[in-house]
Amino acid sequence: MFRRLFKAIGEYVLLLGKVISKPQKMQVFMKLLMREIYDLGVNSFGLVLFTSFFVGAVVAIQMFNNFSASSFPIPLSFIGYATKVVLVLEFSPTIISVILAGKVGSYIASSIGTMRVTEQIDALDIMGVNSPNFLILPKIFASVIFNPLLIAISISVGIWGGHIAGIVTKNWTEADYITGIQMYMPSFFIWYAFLKTAVFAFLIATIPAYFGYNVKGGSLEVGRASTQAVVWTIVSIIICDLLLTQMLLS
């Protein structure tokens, strides 16, 4: 098992070595980049908005229940503050990235895997095209550029979802919630969230690309590679989340 794991890591690193190089034609690269931004980022807007709104509402309600059950009186304004901090530090960067790993990762692995089994990648190699650079680099740039925007939208929509939850349940006032949102939070938390997002975006783009690029067989193997890509991307995100939290917040 460990031998296969280390072999896969080595192949992944070697593939990245081919990916990270100057594109052969910048005009073609920019065209591919715009297409990948649409496919990987814009098409994920709806899922991110829906998930963030309802989870923001759930987080706010849970904070209210926990504060109400406390033996010490806690101002209701802390509901807004706690919701904001939870969304910034953990939910939006990590959970949304895990969701994107499932949606975007399966798309990347299946699309590149289909090109592999239909010998389109072999055709690119025969024509002298650096196929890893041509296929994977635009996806990396698209994810690293656009995912932080998705996370920023997720934080905003999640906070708004908590605000709407207060209006619907009437457990806290709008003034209390807004006061909590305006409470001071270290600016480093924001930088930490977007740093994590950039790292996760790189993993979401490259790990599924590795599995898709190295598919051997037919359509059945493409499906298996997509499943493996999603699983290992999520595992990598969780491990990196632990490492980054330990290094940056401890």
Give per-residue pLDDT as tens, 161-176.
999 998 898 888 888 8
pLDDT(49) > 80: yes
Distances (CA, A) of 241 to 56, 61, 96, 187: 20, 25, 13, 19
* 247 vs 239: CA distance, rounded Å: 12
What predicted TM-score, i.e. pTM, was given to this entire model? 0.91
More confident residue, 5 or 78: 78
d(CA 77, CA 113): 51
Contact 121, 135 (CB under 8 A): yes
Contact 139, 36 (CB under 8 A): yes
Judged by average pLDDT, the poorest of 20-29, 44-53, 150-159 is: 20-29
Contact 144, 32 (CB under 8 A): no
